[in-house]
Structure 1
Amino acid sequence: MHRPKTYTLDEAQKRMERYCAYQERCHQEVTKKLYEMRMIPEARDKIIVHLLEHNFLNEERFTKTFVLGKFRIKKWGRKRLELELKRREISAYNIKLAFKEISDAEYLEAFNQLAEKKVAQIKESNLQKKRKKLADYLLYRGWETHLVYDKVNELI
């Protein structure tokens, strides 16, 4: 039977520094990782305070990076972004701040490109089904309903 590895406070702290340096993390991810490492609550708190003080962990920076990355690469809309951030227990203030990083022009440009690219890919002769497929795709990606339905009516 194999025993789970145990860590000293220093080892865990170094490991978490590397974990946070590799990629931006939110508090929830760090807490979960420390929990998986079987650290006691006092040690978890100490390590999190250390990470915050040394700027390894920064919720505002995480939120901005997350929003810009998912928006630019995965083409997620604000609704999906907000949902995913709330799932990670990010404050409404930080979410609002991160959304300011995306201009309305850039947001609409990405939405229009995504919709036009998708409509060209849908191989469906029934217009009703084609409309539904496009709407479902855009809504799943988290784009606002009024944008989606206006665009569907415009394109099909």
Structure 2
Amino acid sequence: MSDPVLLPEVHKKLEYYCSYQERCHQDVEQKLYSFQLTADERNEIIVKLIADNYLNEERFASLFTISKLHQKKWGKVRIKIELKARKISDYLINQSLKQIPDEEYQNTFDTLSEKYYDTLLEKNAFKKRKKFCDYLLRKGWESDLVYSKAKKLEQ
């Protein structure tokens, strides 16, 4: 059992932790382990953070999805994998992916793929295609999009 004076202090620290950047439950749980609290105390703090709206998985999933598309130019496959790694439910993952406008998604893909294709200096057409496809697949873009774009750009 930890010191009862410590609990409000830890709660304040976690409010700050959640307020300067959106967090998922897993992030908060990991942070709580560093304070050496009992399981009940950790749960109590998490419940309080949820009640005070510092912790919201739905909001986290939405912001994560949009920011990774805009900042890192990730595709839906990579975003889904990363959200699953953070133990976000399939329902919330699907809801957050639905928020991406199709036109914006396609435009982001087209811009990224054309820009990257132009930077490839590879002379061998097969190697160039492989580098191009590997790069976009690592970023989480759907394989059918990637391969059709590769064919289009090669012509």
TM-score of the pair, normalised by structure 2: 0.95
Q: Give 1:37 shift.
A: 1.8
Distance in 1, Cα, partners of 2:23 & 2:72: 18
Aligned letter for 1:88? Answer: R
Among candidates 115, 126, 129, match of residue 127 of structure 2:
129
Among candidates 52, 58, 63, match of residue 61 of structure 2:
63
Q: Which residue matches 1:9?
A: 7
Q: How is 1:83-94 mapped onto 2 (pairs within 5 angstroms)?
A: 83-94=81-92
1:32 aligns to 2:30 (yes or no): yes
Aligned letter for 1:23? Answer: Q
In structure 1, list runs of 5 or more residues that go unmatched. Answer: 1-6
Aligned letter for 2:8? Answer: D
- After superposing on structure 2, the runs of 4+ consecutive aligned residues of structure 1 that deviate more than 6 Å are none
Distance in 1, Cα, partners of 2:117 & 2:70: 19
Aligned residues: 150
Residues 49-88 of structure 1: CA deviation (Å, up to 9, x unaligned) = 0000000000000000000000011000000000000000
Distance in 1, Cα, partners of 2:130 & 2:151: 11
Distance in 2, Cα, partners of 1:36 & 1:84: 23
Residues 73-128 of structure 1: CA deviation (Å, up to 9, x unaligned) = 10000000000000000011111111122111111110010000000111111100
